Structure formats: structure tokens, C-alpha cells
Chains A and B, each alone.
Chain A
Amino acid sequence: MKRYACPACNALAGGNLAGYTQPGLGALTNAHRKLVQVSAECSANIDDSTIPFARNHEKVFDYILVAKGTCDVHVIEVHSAGSTHKVTELIGKKAGTSLRLTRAGVALSAKAWHWIVDPTAKGGICFKANDKYGKRLQAAGIRQPVKSLAQF
């Protein structure tokens, strides 16, 4: 097994998510990699990891990223923000992700939960941090959606 500089990467690579963990941004699809400009020690595709169980694969965030240097754990979802209903979806996905990681035997404490707007979806970002949808997102501990992740 590849040894990483960050304990979180070793936990991912040594557990049930081993097959979905890659060095750097390797676990991200090509399209999604273009949306992330940060350096990662490793990444894991949580969304793909749910497919063998054939359940709830759409109800989790897409990726875990472990930041190079700080080794902080970040969770990423690439998703449309063009409808106010998406806020409720993202909050549900956060809960689903925590459950999925628990079932996978991975105990990671996330530094932040990020929402990157899917560039192929219509509508851009339809809400603001200071309306009730933005506030709902803040209360759930998810950062406001961004077009790309330039920094953690």
C-alpha cells in the first residue's frame, strides 16, 4: 500500500475506500478536476464507492480531498445551484456522506464541506448567503457554492 504523508490519506487507502483513493486529485473525473485549483495529498471518490452497494449513490458528496501540507480533510460536491431545492439536497447529502463514511469504517473529521457549481447545469447560483437558503446552508455547516475551488 502506498504510504502518504497525511494520516487521513493512509486511513482512506488502508480501509474500505482503498479502491477509490488516489494520490493528488487523481480520484476526480477530468471534468471536475478542472474546477479544483488546490493541492491535495490524496483524494477519494465517495460517490463511486456507493455504486457497488447499489443504494443511495446519489445521496453523498462526490469527493474527499486531503489538503497537501495541512492534511486537513475537505469534502466536495459538484452540483447545480440553480434551484433553491438544491440546498435541501446538499444538506441531505452531507448527512448521507457521514453515514457512508461511518459504514465504510472511515472516521475523518472534515475541516469544511464545499459546494462547487456544476458548470453544465442551468441557472448559476440562484441564492445568496443572506437569504434563508444561504442561512440554511450555513446552519448545516456547508460553505456557500462557488464556481471553482481556488483555495480551501
Chain B
Amino acid sequence: MASRHVLGIKNFGPMGHVEIPFADVSVLVGPQATGKSLALQWLKLAVDARRVLSRLKDNGYDCRGDATVLLANVFGAGYGRLDKKTRVTFDGQAVDIGTIAAGNARAGAHALFYIPAHRALLIQSGWPLVFRNHSPDTPFVAREFATNLIELLEDRDSEHVLVPPPTRLRQEVRERLDNTLFHGGHVIAGSTELGRKELRLQHGEKTSFRLMEWTTGQREVVPLVLGMSWALPAGAIRQRAGLKWLVVEEPELGLHPDGTVAVMAMLLEAARRGYRLVVSTHAEAVLEILWVMSRLRGRPGGPTRLCRVLGIRETQGMKEYAAQLLKLKAAITYLDYAKDGKVTSTDITDLDPASETLAESEWGGLLKYASRAAEQLSEDA
């Protein structure tokens, strides 16, 4: 199992003082604009600082040792102003933007792969935009993700089924994705009359849909699944060389809760392979899976029941797979505004519905509205 890491952030964006612990599967929840994405981008910088510099340099960006230029290139142009009170630590060590900007770039495999919430916006006219073609307000992680997609797609032709990935996932998980999201369709890198490649959703031999004809959920989920294909090598190789972390923002975007559960079945495969999986979410279904996993751990029928929760076939192989998932440890952090107007963090890993701490009993606010309705009906009776 992965060792525990902690990211600490003081005075950056809306965050006053935030401490985020990481385990095998880590989840960030909280209302909009509480800094979840910013925190995860700091994690990227903490883990891959010199490689971030290298990627920027390779694409013609020179930070000139200037912390504010680096900051703007990492978080987007709007963040190019340094607050003197900002302090970031990772495992107790300072992550200093000035020191990083003044340091040397180092090429090589990134240790953290980031699938951003912007993923559907990064594909235009059926193909990911190259690094320099994104607007300056696009965070580094989004530009980096589009670059990784191009790397994955450039040597694929219309013969290759890209999604659901035929060799990267267990058959049962692939079936689950297909039955829930694609209903027999598959995504290929097709060609236009002029030979320009573009992603197409193919149903049978004759029906082919271009990007803008896909459902919203498909437009959101296809880049995510492509990203997972990039991160999960085929065959017996468990992890990409050097890659240790997998960050996925809001896997539920555009999806029915059943689709969210199918995607979680795929994401957990990454954690099972040994990646530290980090997810930010507004979906109750994500926390429900972790809650059930914590309660089924060590139970004799646990693997079978987890297969049922994930909606995957209860084959012997999948029960063994589920038994491995049940060994994963979770860390769940809730970010929200405190009375002083700054965001703070609360560890709600236990997700105890009987907890006296509202943040935990209401699962970081995700159960709040349903509970509020119950209370009003209760008082009315």
C-alpha cells in the first residue's frame, strides 16, 4: 500500500489553511470555488516541478526565473500575482515557487498524470489542441493533458478501437462502460475526406457520429477514458514507467449516477495497479463506493457485494479483483469556507452518517439537501 503524503497550503486563492492527506484513493469534496482544483495543481507542481518547467520550455515558454510568470503558466494568467503570505508544503517540505522558477528544467517521465475537468474543452473539431494553441488562461495541467492525448492518438488509425479500450481494462469493466455509456458503440480515430484525423463514435460499419453529435456525457467521458488508456499500459505491465499519481477531476461530469459508478470501476483499476488515485467530486456515488468499501473490508462476502455495488459481473476473476480493491485505504477531505471567509479543510474519511460533525455526517454537503428535505417533512408531521 502507498505511504501517506500530506499537502499543506496557506493563503493561496480562496484557501486560508488547508491540509490534504493522501492515501491509495483520495477524494476532495466541497462547494464550488473552494480551491479543490488549485490544490491539486499545487500537488502536480510539488511532485513534478522540474518536469513542468521542462514541458513549458519544450513548448517555447521561458519563465526567466520569474515566479509570477511560472505561476501564471501553471494556474492560468489570472493567478500571475504572488501573495507574500502563500506557503505550500508537501510532506513537510516547502514547495517554493521562486525556487522552482529559478531551478533547472528536467526532461523525463512525469510522476503525476492529471485528467482535468476542462477535458471536453480541450478537443476541438474532433482532435486535441496542441500545447501552444490553448489560450493563456488555460492551466498547465489542461494543456499537458491535451498533449498526452495527442501522444496517445497520433499513431492510431481507424482500425484501432480507442474507447472502450480493448486491451487496457478487464473485460468485465469494459463491458460495464460499454453497457452504460456507449451501448455497443466505440470511438476510433477516423479520417475526413481530406485525410484529417478526428475522433468518431462508430455504431456498426455504416453509422458514424462526429464530436458535436455525441451526447454531453460521451463528450466528457471519452477524453477521460482516453486518459486512462494512456495511464494504464496493456498486458502484464501494471504502471507506466515513472508514473506514481493519477489525478481525476470530477469524473461524474455529464453522467447519470450509473455512469459515474461505471467510471469509478475503471478508476479503481488504477489504484489497484498501485497508482495513488486522487479524485475531486460533487457526486454522492463516488463517496458511496468508498463508504461501502470501508464497511465491506474484511467481510467474508465483501468482494461479491462490492461487485454488485459497482455493477460488474461476479466472475471469480472479478471477485479476486474486488478483494484487492477492498484492501485500498481512502482519505477524504472536505474544503469549505470558514467564518473568516477563508477555506479550511476537514478530514471526513470515516463518512460516518451518525457523526456529530455535520461535514462528515452530510458527506461534505453532498447529502445536505436530501437531509434538509427529510427534516422539513419530519417537523411538518
Contacts and interface: CB of A to CB of B under 8 A. Distances in A.
Categorize the interface residue count of chain B: 10 to 19
A20 interface: no
Contacts of B375: 84
Contacts of A133: 353, 371, 374
Interface in A81-106: 82-85
B378 A82 contact: yes
A131 B370 contact: yes
B381 A123 contact: yes
B354 A139 contact: yes
B374 A131 contact: yes
A136 B354 CA distance: 6
* For the complex of A and B, 8 pairs with smallest distance between CB atoms: A123-B381, A131-B370, A82-B381, A127-B374, A126-B377, A135-B353, A136-B353, A131-B371
A132 B378 contact: no
A130 interface: yes
A128 B378 contact: no
Interface string B244-267: 000000000000000000000000
Categorize the interface residue count of chain A: 10 to 19
Nearest to B374: A127
B374 A122 contact: no
Nearest to A125: B377
A131 B363 CA distance: 10
B380 interface: yes
Given A82-B378, A83-B378, A133-B353, 5 more contacts: A84-B378, A123-B381, A130-B370, A132-B362, A135-B353
B361 A132 contact: yes
Contacts of A124: 381
B190 to A, nearest CB: 41
B379 to A, nearest CB: 8
Contacts of B130: none
27 contacts: A82-B377, A82-B381, A83-B381, A84-B374, A124-B381, A126-B374, A127-B371, A128-B374, A130-B284, A130-B367, A131-B367, A131-B370, A132-B353, A132-B367, A132-B370, A132-B371, A133-B374, A134-B370, A135-B291, A135-B353, A135-B363, A135-B367, A136-B354, A136-B361, A139-B295, A139-B353, A139-B354
Contacts of A135: 291, 353, 363, 367
Interface in A108-152: 122-124, 126-128, 130-136, 138-139
Interface of A: 82-85, 122-124, 126-128, 130-136, 138-139
Nearest to A136: B353
A127 B380 CA distance: 13
A126 B353 contact: no
Contacts of B371: 127, 131-133
Interface in B157-176: none
Contacts of A82: 377-378, 381
Given A132-B361, A132-B362, A133-B371, A127 B378 contact: yes
Interface string B276-303: 0000000010000001000100000000
Interface in B330-381: 352-354, 361-363, 367, 370-371, 373-375, 377-378, 380-381
A138 B294 CA distance: 14
Contacts of B361: 132, 136
A134 to B, nearest CB: 8
B373 A131 contact: yes
Contacts of B380: 123
B291 to A, nearest CB: 8
A136 B381 CA distance: 21
Contacts of A83: 378, 381
A139 B371 CA distance: 16
Contacts of A126: 374, 377-378, 381
B170 to A, nearest CB: 28
Nearest to A135: B353
